Amino acid sequence: MRRITASLIFMLGLAVAAANLTLPGNPKSVKLAVIGDGGTGETPQYEVGQQMADYHTKFPFDFVLMLGDNIYGHQSAGDFRKKFEDPYKALLSQGVKFYASLGNHDSTTERMYKPFNMDGKRYYDFKKGDAEFFALDSNYMDPEQLDWLTKELSSSNSKWKVCFFHHPLYSDGRMHGPDLDLRKQLEPIFEQYGVNVVLAGHEHFYERTQPHNGIAYFVLGNSGQLRPHNVRTSPDVAKAFDTDQAFALLEIDPDQLYYQIISRTGETVDSGSVTQAKVTR
């Protein structure tokens, strides 16, 4: 029997990833990936990074949203290499940009780290096609940040408004659960100014809740860390995955946002789409 080389195994892996892609892959759509609580520097984070690179060959996303806890523990130059630059080296080398938000394990000095594209800010926004993305600092939701968010959302003419930050407004996690104070502050603003999708981490699993007043809420805090079997049974849980690490792929067309959640081993654990008023699958 001929010996299977490492390169052949790698190519077979790419074929499996390509075969499992559920997103439309429209040429003019906005394509992105999402990770949360990833910065461990441990083997599962690297394996998630490899899956992301594999899927990128078939679904060439331009950027990645980071939902906080980007760098756990020490933050020396070596830590940034081990916990960010090396796990996502293949993507970074192809020009994929990463946009970070801050988690409770992050240092505010991460704002100055150029590959996180925060430009020294705790909160910021940027546009891609028909979508506008708002990165928030959920560690300290001060009046200035709320005023900024209200102003930016109210003046936005983007068809899709996506907010991403660390602490979830809705969660069925046994460890933390929802941040009710943050929900009280943010949800009325989201509803008033037409936010479509909210992405959060903090809980070390994946969860998609039932839509709340037309807004789709996702929790994705298991791209490096994992808290197994931590999602409680609840009518609010539309889909949950708490047995392995995962990341998300999103595709945004003018009238539809598609999502595919992929585990560390390449398994699709959730997929579907979001319209302006509801989530379908």
Q: Give the confidence band of 5 by pLDDT, cuts at 50, 70, 90.
A: very low
Q: How far apart are CA 29 and CA 273, in angstroms?
A: 14
Tell me the per-residue pLDDT of 30-66, one tens digit each, with 9 for 90 and over. 999 999 999 999 999 999 999 999 999 999 999 999 9
Q: What is the pLDDT of residue 213?
A: 92
| Banded model confidence at residue 111, pLDDT cuts 50, 70, 90 | very high
Tell me the DSSP string of 206-240.
Answer: EEEEPPBTTBEEEEE--SS---TT-BPP-TTEEEE
**C-alpha–C-alpha distance, residues 194 and 134, integer Å:** 13
Q: Which residues pair with 257 in a beta bridge?
A: 252, 274
Within the chain, strands assigned E span: 30-35, 63-66, 97-100, 124-128, 131-135, 160-164, 197-200, 206-209, 216-220, 237-241, 246-252, 257-263, 268-274, 279-280
How buried is 153 (Cβ within 10 angstroms: 0-12 exposed, 13-18 middle, 19+ buried)?
buried
C-beta of residue 270 within 8 angstroms of C-beta of residue 261: yes
Per residue in 235-269, pLDDT (tens digit) is 999 999 999 999 999 999 999 999 999 999 999 99
> 50: which 2 tokens?
């490899």
User: Which of 108, 227, 141, 137 has its CA nearest to residue 177?
Assistant: 227
pLDDT surpassing 50 at residue 233: yes
